[in-house]
Structure 1
Amino acid sequence: MEKFKQLLNDFNELVMFKHSIFSLPFIFIAMIVAANGWFGFKLLILGVLAALTARNFAMGFNRFLDRDIDALNPRTINRPNVDGRISPVQMFLFTFANALGFILVAYFVNDLALYLAVPILIVIGSYSYFKRFSYLAHLILGLSLGLAPIAGVVAVSETITFWSVLLSIGVMFWVAGFDLLYSLQDIEVDKKLGLHSIPSTFGVERTMRISQIFHALTVLFWLLFAFVSESGFFVYIAVVVSAVMLSVEHYIVNKDFSKIDRAFFTINGYLGIVFFVLVVCDQIFA
């Protein structure tokens, strides 16, 4: 039993389960807007399962492919995929099981969700390859999480709405923007290993400007989402609060690089939650 508990802890560390907080709120934001309120317990459960299996697949696949890279990076050398706590076979089985789980969940959602399941897995798995030959990998990572709102709308209405695309593009630039800041920690390692990232290609100052541009685009597309979806006052407040939080994030990183983790985890984690709560308020008080 103790070995099993330890294995669960190791897998939790492998996929960094707590990072699910970045994608979950925007799935349910889209579902709430699409359903114009509560969408039912069945879709709640299926939505959570879809989000978790998709993310576990993406992280497991990434860790499986990146064993050689992580072993050469001082920041990642103690990860379970490197230090032997989880074997390559275990990672492969974990990744494969979550891919099947995601497809199975999609089957129980609706036909369109099932048709899109494999293409979505291909997109979210491609990040691991892109960073080996293109600095656009940051946008691929953003797109992977940006698909969450579209998936939420598909689950509720079995269609893809224009406002969900706008919301998703905003999420894509949001994630890509904070991934750029997070990647500043690995700029020297990326150069040494020949990995393609915006920080290693353009340097620190340009990377921070690009991140600011990405986050400005985030706010713009979320404003467009609020307008096109005919949302109420609280959603516009959510966009304004998000803009303030992103500004604070850049202020923290500009002032002290050692606080990148704080900006990455704390601020971005709360941003999604605050946005979700305000969307719920918009439905209640509309």
Structure 2
Amino acid sequence: MAGAGPVTETVEAPNKVKAFLRLVMIEHSVFALPFAYVAALTAMRTEGRSVQWLTLLVITIAMVAARTVAMAANRIIDRRIDAQNPRTAQRELVTGALSVRSAWVGLVVALVVFLASAAWLGWLCLVLSPIALFFLTIYSYAKRFTDFPQAFLGLAQAIAPLGAWIGVTGHWSWAAFVLGLAVGTWIGGFDLIYACQDVEVDRRIGVRSVPVRFGIAASLRASTVVHVVTVALYVWFGAMTGYGWLWWAGMAFTAAVLAYEHAIVRADDLSRVNRAFFTANGVIGIVLFLFALADLVFRQDLTW
């Protein structure tokens, strides 16, 4: 990569576990995990109408472990790029708060946990796990060979609901596929917004993205279109699976939050990108899950 230099290596912080958890931003599991729960609980409704608590726990472990693998790989692969960007220059592998070796150890531990969880959920989950890992890690390389790395991020995130459904039922589901596409377009769409922050730096160091190739204004317009598709896919999923009025209330809320997200970010004012990215999108995942859960409880579709 043009202009890439050696990453600073300093004495590693005493608490490697905390540094690793900061590195992978473990709290951001909130974005995709709620939709894994929606898929899992919907599947349980079709598979006997009772909650399988142990299965939900293993799905949680698998999803968090898979995301940890992806984030650790991203930070290791991109550490020299991160060192050249003021926004990311304080990440743990850049400053030396965590060594590359320790990051690899954390990645391998998360990988073992993920594969073990996939195996517990069934042979199909285990067989498909390498495909999931491929999409979860390719995003880090996508910015080097395509102007559309957000598409690869969306594909990676789409895996969560489909994997959760297969973990419950042991077979493919078109409904889960539609939900996965909804999650993928949702996350890919707001990454189009998030990437606008780094346009100038990315152009200088040779990182590719939609904002770099087409400009900030075009990227924001594309994000709006993608999020319209997201809402349509959530509606489709609700219709396919027979959700009731509470799901549709959650959909109305989701559409309103997405509209707010796009209203507060403009091509000439990116100061509220973090509010749109972290706050608004964190709310969407949690609230839509709660509406789906309330619908299942209210209609007594599951035995708890």
Into which bin does the TM-score normalised by the smaller protein fall?
over 0.9
Q: Does 1:160 align with 2:169?
A: no
Among 44, 61, 69, which residue is 1:35 paired with? Answer: 44
Letter aligned with residue 190 of structure 1:
D
Residues 31 and 39, structure 1, Cα contact 8 Å, conserved in 2: no
Matches within 5 A, 1:113-192: 113-192=125-204
Q: Does 1:229 align with 2:238?
A: no
CA–CA distance in structure 2, aligned partners of residues 197 and 247 of structure 1: 23
Q: Does 1:110 align with 2:122?
A: yes
Q: Does 1:11 align with 2:24?
A: no
Letter aligned with residue 102 of structure 2:
Q
Q: Secondary structure at the match of 1:75?
A: coil
Q: Secondary structure at the match of 1:253?
A: coil
Q: Which residue of 1 aligns with 2:226?
A: 214
State the 1:9 CA deviation. 2.1
Among 71, 92, 95, which residue is 2:104 paired with? Answer: 92
Identical amino acids, percent of aligned pairs: 34
Among 66, 82, 87, which residue is 2:94 paired with? Answer: 82
Residues 141 and 175, structure 1, Cα contact 8 Å, conserved in 2: yes
State the 1:209 CA deviation. 0.4
Q: Which runs of 5+ in 2 are unaligned?
A: 1-11, 300-304
Q: Which residue of 2 aligns with 1:280?
A: 293
CA–CA distance in structure 2, aligned partners of residues 245 and 38 of structure 1: 32
Residues 30 and 149, structure 1, Cα contact 8 Å, conserved in 2: yes
Q: Secondary structure at the match of 2:146?
A: coil
Residues 39 and 156, structure 1, Cα contact 8 Å, conserved in 2: no
What's the CA shift string for 1:204-259, capped at 9, x where partnerless? 11000000011000001111111111211111222221111000001111284111
> Which structure features the higher share of helix residues?
1
Q: Does 1:266 align with 2:275?
A: no
TM-score by structure 2 length?
0.90
Residues 162 and 180, structure 2, Cα contact 8 Å, conserved in 1: yes
What's the CA shift string for 1:160-180, capped at 9, x where partnerless? 211111111111110011111
Residues 62 and 118, structure 2, Cα contact 8 Å, conserved in 1: yes
Q: Which residue of 1 aligns with 2:31?
A: 22
Letter aligned with residue 107 of structure 1:
A
State the 1:13 CA deviation. 1.4
State the 1:5 CA deviation. 6.6
Give the length in aligned residue pairs.
284
| Comparing 53-62 and 89-98, the one that deviates more | 89-98
Q: Does 1:68 align with 2:68?
A: no
What's the CA shift string for 1:66-124, capped at 9, x where partnerless? 01100100111110011111111111222122112111111111111111111111110
TM-score by structure 1 length?
0.96
Q: Which runs of 5+ in 1 are unaligned?
A: none
CA–CA distance in structure 1, aligned partners of residues 277 and 64 of structure 2: 20
CA–CA distance in structure 2, aligned partners of residues 283 and 195 of structure 1: 45
Q: Which residue of 2 aligns with 1:58?
A: 70
RMSD: 1.4
| Comparing 226-235 and 213-222, the one that deviates more | 226-235
CA–CA distance in structure 2, aligned partners of residues 235 and 95 of structure 1: 37
Q: Which residue of 2 aligns with 1:245?
A: 257
- Runs (4+) of structure 1 exceeding 4 A deviation are none
